[in-house]
Amino acid sequence: MTAAPIRSVDKSGVEITSVGFNRFGFDSQVPIDVLRSLYLRPHYAARIGDSTSETLLKEDGQVEDHAVFNQGNTAYQSKSIFYPETNSISYTTLSRFTPVKLLPPSQRKRILVTGGAGFVGSHLVDRLMLLGHEVTVLDNFFTGSKTTVSHWIGHPNFEMVRHDVVEPFMIECDQIYHLACPASPPHYQFNAVKTIKTSFMGTLNMLGLAKRTKARFLISSTSEVYGDPEVHPQHEEYWGHVNPIGPRACYDEGKRVAETLTYGFQRQDGVDVRVARIFNTYGPRMNPYDGRVVSNFIVQALKGEDMTVYGDGKQTRSFQYIHDLIDGLIALMNSDETRPVNIGNGDEFTIGEFAELVREIVEKVQDEDGDKRIRRVNIIHKAIPTDDPQMRRPDTTRAKESLQWQPRWTVRMGLEEMVRYYKAKMAEGNL
Ligand SMILES: NC(=O)c1ccc[n+]([C@@H]2O[C@H](COP(=O)([O-])OP(=O)(O)OC[C@H]3O[C@@H](n4cnc5c(N)ncnc54)[C@H](O)[C@@H]3O)[C@@H](O)[C@H]2O)c1
């Protein structure tokens, strides 16, 4: 195994050392190595070369006296350590957590993330936790898993609640990121009626909570509200072209009505709302068996199986890396933009081209890690599913103007991280 720490460069060739930005009075910046250490195996994540990690590596007794606060009598009592150089704090219960920023109470927000144990939710939780906020995750674990956020369980700033958003829920909070909803076709079609209930009743309950607590509410809507679009690229003023009775309708129409509800609460009750229309997003922690094209291709290529392209492979898709999405969601939440905002990456690929790119990157990572390949995988074609949109590409002008947000990650850079994450899952026997 000769794996070296990964280095990523952005679209303009500049090395990515951190994600996030300080905008709209909210600082969302986090070093990329710290984030990576939460989802990649240690040999890929560069050693965090600041004084915080140096201190962490020392035994407790060696940490400067003023920095250590023991509650009660040693051994298994909880402990917190403050690092003045980086203004961060680490808590220890039975294990020690990655240090999070120490925010004054006036800046520390109480943030509810529904669906926080899912793919997008867990990355949002990582970011908000590292930034020093108090995070509560609400999830019924239908498609999510405790393992995605297990590295925070027990942290004093973190709470995990098993709850179905279809039922009412009460909590005091300042911001609600409402993400709970299965997002991949096999999952949302598994129980179409439940998907609509989650979209409608779940959103109704969370909007009711926002109304009672005066919390700001952000819903993760989707590019699926545009259906099989007749307008390219899709801008937010486009009303969409959705089949209301097709197999995808439970999700597409569910999200459309969720947006309707959101703006209903804004008009009638003055709820402070944000609507993010998310386009295809990929990254570590995506469920490998959720039938989405990125995970399908990587898993097939890593296992040495042929890669399946549905249809002739000429349909196009754009793919956004998870850290760009999280930057966009946080910027939107903290901005004054109340209209729907597309958040996606406009770099368009045909599915055929994309399959070839994934194959090339899997081979590159395998070569770098000194892995033996059984054979070169082939790309094969199968019949296209019903209502599969032929083209989808975001017009992100609004995000650029209102949020000063633009995607930074190239598809290649994101794929390299994701392939390494899936490789580790495979090594653990999880793929
Ligand atoms: N990933 C994408 O490309 C993408 C694109 C557009 C929109 N979105 C939206 O982003 C959100 C998150 O998507 P994801 O990719 O992380 O999906 P995911 O399936 O990984 O996460 C969804 C989470 O919601 C939870 N959940 C589902 N139903 C619930 C219920 N009734 N009560 C409580 N929790 C429930 C699941 O257990 C899971 O943890 C979804 O709202 C999805 O529609 C995602």
pLDDT 10s digits, 342-372:
999 999 889 999 999 999 999 999 998 888 8
Residue of the CA atom closest to atom 34 of ligand 1: 139
CA 90 – CA 101 distance, rounded (Å): 9
Dmax over CA atoms of the chain, in Å, equals: 67
pTM of the model: 0.89
Ligand 1, CB cutoff 6 Å, lining residues: 115, 117-121, 139-144, 164-166, 179-183, 187, 198, 202, 220, 222, 278, 280-281
Tell how far the Cα of 183 is from the centroid of ligand 1, in angstroms. 5
CA 210 – CA 146 distance, rounded (Å): 25
Q: What 8-state DSSP symbol labels residue 15?
A: B
- For this structure, is 251 an active site residue? yes
Of 113, 119, 323, the residue with max ligand 1 atoms within 8 A of its CB, to mutate for a pocket test, comes to: 119
Place of tokens 């019949």: 383
Tell how far the Cα of 240 is from the centroid of ligand 1, in angstroms. 21
Tokens of 271: 């709820």
Of 141, 142, 189, 250, the residue with max ligand 1 atoms within 8 A of its CB, to mutate for a pocket test, comes to: 142
pLDDT at 44: 61
Tokens of 196: 């609509």
CA 32 – CA 164 distance, rounded (Å): 33
Residue 92 three-state SS: strand
**Percent of the chain whose predicted confidence (pLDDT) is above 70:** 87
CA 241 – CA 243 distance, rounded (Å): 7
pLDDT(77) > 60: no
What is the secondary structure of 315-368 as a DSSP string?
-EEE-EEHHHHHHHHHHHHHSS--SEEEE----EEEHHHHHHHHHHHHHHHHHH
Ligand 1 atom, smallest distance to 280 CA: 3
Residue 7: pLDDT band with limits 50, 70, 90: confident
pLDDT at 98: 85
Which of the pair, 226 or 50, is modelled with greater confidence?
A: 226
H helix intervals, 58-95: none
Tell how far the Cα of 228 is from the centroid of ligand 1, in angstroms. 21
Alpha carbons within 13 A on the beta-carbon side of 409: 30
- Residues 172 and 213: beta-carbon distance below 8 Å: yes
Length of the chain: 431
Residue 49: pLDDT band with limits 50, 70, 90: very low
CA 234 – CA 395 distance, rounded (Å): 5
Of 112, 120, 127, 164, the residue with max ligand 1 atoms within 8 A of its CB, to mutate for a pocket test, comes to: 120
Q: Which domains does the chain have, with CATH numbers?
A: 107-278 (3.40.50.720), 280-321+345-388+410-430 (3.90.25.10)
pLDDT at 431: 75
CA 282 – CA 265 distance, rounded (Å): 31
Residue 60: pLDDT band with limits 50, 70, 90: very low
pLDDT at 96: 73
pLDDT at 72: 38
CA 412 – CA 349 distance, rounded (Å): 12
Q: What 8-state DSSP symbol labels residue 24?
A: T
Q: Which residues contact 84 (CB under 8 A, 6 or more apart)?
A: 67
How far, rounded to the nearest angstrom, does the alpha carbon of residue 20 sit from its chain's CA centroid? 13
**Range among 59-68, 89-98, 132-141, 226-235 rated most confident:** 132-141
Catalytic residue among 83, 251, 421, 422: 251
pLDDT(1) > 50: no
